[in-house]
A and B are shown apart, each in its own frame.
Chain A
Amino acid sequence: MATNGYEDVAKGDAIPALEVQPQELYHAKSFWTRYIFCQDAKVIAIQYALTATTIGLVGLVSSWLIRMQIAFPGVIPMDASAYYQLVTMHGMIMVIYLLTALFLGGFGNYLIPLMVGARDMVFPYLNMVSYWVFLLAVLILVASYFVPGGPTGAGWTLYPPQAITSGTPGSGLGIILMIVSLAVFVVGFTMGGLNYVITTLQARTRGMTLMRLPLTVWGIFTATVLALFAFPALLVAGIMMLLDNILGTSFFMPAILEAGLGEQMAYNGGSPILFQHLFWFFGHPEVYIVALPAFGIVSDLISVHARKNIFGYRMMVWAIVIIGFLSFIVWAHHMYVAGMNPWFGFFFATTTLIIAIPTALKVYNWVLTLWRGNIQLTVPMLFAIGFLITFVNGGITGLFLGNVIVDVPLSDTYFVVAHFHMVMGIAPVLVVFGSIYHWYPLITGRFLNNRLGKIHFWITFLGSYSIYFPMHYLGFMGVPRRYFEIYDSEFYTASTSDLNQFITIAALVTGFAQLVFLYNIIVSIKHGKKAEKNPWKACSLEWQTTEMPPEHGNFGKELPVVYRWAYDFSVPGADEDYIPQNTSPNEVANAQVEKT
């Protein structure tokens, strides 16, 4: 049995005799069950996306305030506590509540059932609960802004002892609510995550072998598996720290003094480094939980808009799986200078640099897909290209930080800030934008405005590159991150100040350009150009539904049967430059006969 769609095509019809049980769907009867407590994965996806974006705007505004303090101190009055609270909440919101929720809860819910040819997720009710639990987690997070002492200012890594001692802002209720919110998030995510994994494995339609899945599904599926393994480490670390905080246990707390040379505290024997191991055992896979869906989605964007099959599909799948596996044995590269046994450095530097190989192969395959393609410079394609440049830049700085000795001078400086924003902030966000322009017609039946899209792209891509590319060089100078102000220091020369002001202005411009995008999204729902079915002429199943936008149940009376992979673009001899996955070889042959 051949594993690739295009090999099957050459051999004629080859449909595995896979029986898919018809799925009983819950049919909504009222407004409440249709739009609010809805079990349709597509509605849940929108709910996830809207909630994530809303809290993401809080994260975005936080970043403006942070940048104002760095470049123009005093313009917006804030003290060090407020600054550290902004830094902490910005990081936590962007990584967990925006990107993780948006990629898995948003894109995962919308695309997995449609792309694998299922009517819905396998556990629709659980899926609905997943969203409401996520919303609860967000509300708890928001509540922490309003408790005495404010939200935690422990940094998004929440390192003990400082996370729970009095020298850190929000060390009272703030940190408790933060941990509770994370725990609730993990619970909600697990409900959704099991759905994404089991739907991908069990609910694929006839003919949809694993090696015919679009890379989008591979990316989201693998990311979800990672998340299901990684989040428990965060959960237990959070609970143990909560116990240290509330009950006075000493999991992470050695004997220490109260902040500012105070009294001895009643802790003894705990290990702060243990927390870091648990945190990064979650935290590093988390990077790939955000990156792998972006990898998958961008593969599909490039392929569709270059009218060419993705180059090296099998390699791409294996690269995703291998990166996913390796992401669990590189975590301590975040801890090279944390005080762990220095001999660990040899192991983790080696595994970390090995991960560069499958990652680089993915980049080669993306650009080789452009080679001899027929590239339509649509807005999604522009964002995909923007992603490539940004990701290559952010990826190679990973080779600096992953190589243990190079990390020594650079860790805890602005080089790190620039690196991770480039690679897991901007790069995935560019994919998010590209995919919204790409799938908006499927979701609403209308296009987003093209001109506004291009303006949005250029400001976002060039703006974010101007923010983060020069920022690396502050790190080379040795400017440390997480400094409320560094004006007494010899490191803050006039020219550093100029650079910081430039970066802040670029950040504000880029940030405000997102208003163009929000405007476009809102206005186009009613006034966008109407889209015909399958407007991008894509092969994957989400565009082959009977209705567009797809109704509840996705595929009308009969589920599609899949005959080929998702990338039959520009097949030699074929009439059109694409053959949908559910077009049989006979139909292709008949179309040719009719023509001749």
Chain B
Amino acid sequence: MIIPAVILLVILGSVAFHLWTPWWWTEVASNWGSIDSTILLTFWVTGVVFVAVGLFIAFCVWRYRYDKNRKADYEPENSKLEWILTILTALGVIALLTPGLIVWNKYVTVPEEAYEIEVLGYQWGWGFRLPGKDGVLGTTDINNISDENMFGLNTDDPHSFDDILIDGDDLHILLNHPLKVNLRSLDVLHDFYVPQFRAKMDMVPGMITYYWFTPIRTGNFEILCAEYCGTAHYAMIGNVLVDEKDDYDGWLNEQMTFKETLALNKNNDLIKIASNND
């Protein structure tokens, strides 16, 4: 008697925990609320199955507990029942997969009007690069990297010099503008992850990965590295601020281009100081 009761408690307790949990996702700050909806849909479909199977087990354990004067049924198969269950499960899978793939299609299709930035990961910190006035990110090579050229920009690429470089400081992005983040790593795998944006992608040395999102509310959000990257992985934390247009422009005007940092660098070791600051 106690066993079916405990099974029942586990099932109902799980449901109750889910309904009243204080641990839930943060308020979404990007256009990817559709991901949350997909998760909720998945909760409904799988939750029903979980509760149904659990209650069925509890019922069977209670109803068909051992009685030496009784014999179990002998029913090796029931192909009709098995087919019905197969089809129902397949329908459930389709119900989950279809919206999932529709949203994924949006996730991997960057809108034309998105502006681009680069996020650079290294052991252990974040750098950010904006394309500057020409709107194009200059090309890079890991072999160019030096104290004067933290991002490894190609000095023979004319797009390089107006790029805005931010190292060891916060990133600002523009409210309600679709943004494509190009992801690059200097050493090992990292992952640019802001929980409120719901989006995520590993940064892989030797290649450029990307994702896009549109920030939908202003605020200061924490950047976490989500791919294990060595001893100080847990300390690889940064900040991103979502700004209204005016604030963003104000911030942008204070930032330095590659050219300016190079010029400055001839006088003092500003870049070195900046990278020591993080």
Q: Residues of A at under 8 Å CB distance from B?
A: 4, 6, 80-81, 84, 153, 155, 159, 161-162, 165, 167-169, 254-261, 264, 269-273, 306-309, 311-315, 337-339, 342-343, 345-346, 349-350, 353-354, 356-357, 360-361, 363-365, 367-368, 370-377, 382, 385, 388-389, 392-393, 396-397, 399-400, 403-406, 408-409, 411-413, 458, 462, 465, 469-470, 473-474, 476-478, 480, 482-486, 488-491, 495-496, 499, 567, 569-572, 577
Contact indicator B228/A162 (Cβ below 8 Å): yes
Instruction: Tell me which residues across on chain B come within 8 A of A270, comparing CB atoms.
Output: 206
Instruction: Tell me which residues across on chain B come within 8 A of A161, comparing CB atoms.
Output: 187-189, 205
> In this complex, what residue of A is CB-closest to B225?
A480
Contact indicator B82/A361 (Cβ below 8 Å): yes
> In this complex, what residue of A is CB-closest to B208?
A339
> In this complex, what residue of A is CB-closest to B194?
A478
Instruction: Tell me which residues across on chain A come within 8 A of B49, comparing CB atoms.
Output: 360, 392, 396
Instruction: Tell me which residues across on chain B come within 8 A of A338, comparing CB atoms.
Output: 202, 204
Contact indicator A499/B23 (Cβ below 8 Å): yes
Contact indicator B24/A377 (Cβ below 8 Å): no
Is residue B114 within 8 Å, beta carbon to beta carbon, of the partner chain?
no
| A345 vs B108: C-alpha distance when bound (angstroms) | 10
Contact indicator B38/A307 (Cβ below 8 Å): no
6 tightest CB-CB pairs across the interface, nearest first?
Answer: A254-B206, A478-B195, A167-B230, A396-B46, A342-B108, A308-B72
Is residue B26 within 8 Å, beta carbon to beta carbon, of the partner chain?
yes
| A342 vs B107: C-alpha distance when bound (angstroms) | 9
| A405 vs B17: C-alpha distance when bound (angstroms) | 25
Instruction: Tell me which residues across on chain B come within 8 A of A469, comparing CB atoms.
Output: 14, 17
> In this complex, what residue of A is CB-closest to B106?
A405
Contact indicator B230/A162 (Cβ below 8 Å): yes
CB proximity of B243 to chain A, nearest CB, Å: 19
Contact indicator B39/A400 (Cβ below 8 Å): yes
| A438 vs B10: C-alpha distance when bound (angstroms) | 25
Chain B interface helix/strand/loop/mixed: mixed
Contact indicator B145/A257 (Cβ below 8 Å): yes
Instruction: Tell me which residues across on chain B come within 8 A of A495, comparing CB atoms.
Output: 22-23
Contact indicator A486/B100 (Cβ below 8 Å): no
Q: Within the complex, which residue of B23, B39, B77, B143 is in contact with A315, where a contact is CB–CB below 8 Å?
A: B77
Q: Within the complex, which residue of B3, B32, B39, B189 is in contact with A272, where a contact is CB–CB below 8 Å?
A: B189
- Show 9 residue pairs from A and B whose CB-CB distance is below 8 angstroms, ordered by the A residue: A80-B234, A159-B228, A254-B207, A264-B142, A264-B143, A309-B76, A356-B89, A377-B61, A389-B57
Instruction: Give the residue among A84, A337, A361 with the most B Cβ atoms within 10 A.
Output: A337
Contact indicator B26/A477 (Cβ below 8 Å): yes
Q: B1-44, CB under 8 A of A: which get 1 and which 0?
A: 00100110011001001000111111000001001001100100
A-B contact count (CB 8 A): 333
Q: Within the complex, which residue of B73, B188, B196, B203 is in contact with A570, where a contact is CB–CB below 8 Å?
A: B73
> In this complex, what residue of B is CB-closest to A488?
B237
CB proximity of B273 to chain A, nearest CB, Å: 14
Instruction: Tell me which residues across on chain A come within 8 A of B205, comparing CB atoms.
Output: 161, 254-256, 272
Q: Residues of B at under 8 Å CB distance from A?
A: 3, 6-7, 10-11, 14, 17, 21-26, 32, 35, 38-39, 42, 45-47, 49-50, 53-54, 56-57, 60-61, 64-67, 70-78, 81-82, 85-86, 89-90, 93, 96-97, 100-101, 103-105, 107-108, 122-124, 142-143, 145, 150, 183, 185-189, 191, 193, 195-196, 198-207, 209, 222, 224-234, 237, 275
Instruction: Give the residue among B7, B191, B228 with the most A Cβ atoms within 10 A.
Output: B228
> In this complex, what residue of B is CB-closest to A352?
B97
Instruction: Tell me which residues across on chain A come within 8 A of B103, comparing CB atoms.
Output: 405
Instruction: Check A478/B25 contact, CB under 8 A, given A167-B231, A261-B122, A490-B222.
Output: yes
> In this complex, what residue of A is CB-closest to B102?
A405
| A478 vs B27: C-alpha distance when bound (angstroms) | 11
Contact indicator A385/B77 (Cβ below 8 Å): no
Instruction: Tell me which residues across on chain A come within 8 A of B22, comparing CB atoms.
Output: 495
Contact indicator A260/B93 (Cβ below 8 Å): no
Instruction: Check A392/B231 contact, CB under 8 A, given A167-B187, A377-B61.
Output: no
| A577 vs B72: C-alpha distance when bound (angstroms) | 8
Instruction: Tell me which residues across on chain B come within 8 A of A308, comparing CB atoms.
Output: 72-74
Contact indicator B234/A367 (Cβ below 8 Å): no
Instruction: Tell me which residues across on chain A come within 8 A of B70, comparing CB atoms.
Output: 374
Contact indicator A382/B23 (Cβ below 8 Å): no
Instruction: Tell me which residues across on chain A come within 8 A of B6, comparing CB atoms.
Output: 458, 462
Instruction: Tell me which residues across on chain B come within 8 A of A396, comparing CB atoms.
Output: 46-47, 49-50
Contact indicator B222/A399 (Cβ below 8 Å): no
| A80 vs B70: C-alpha distance when bound (angstroms) | 60
Contact indicator B76/A313 (Cβ below 8 Å): yes
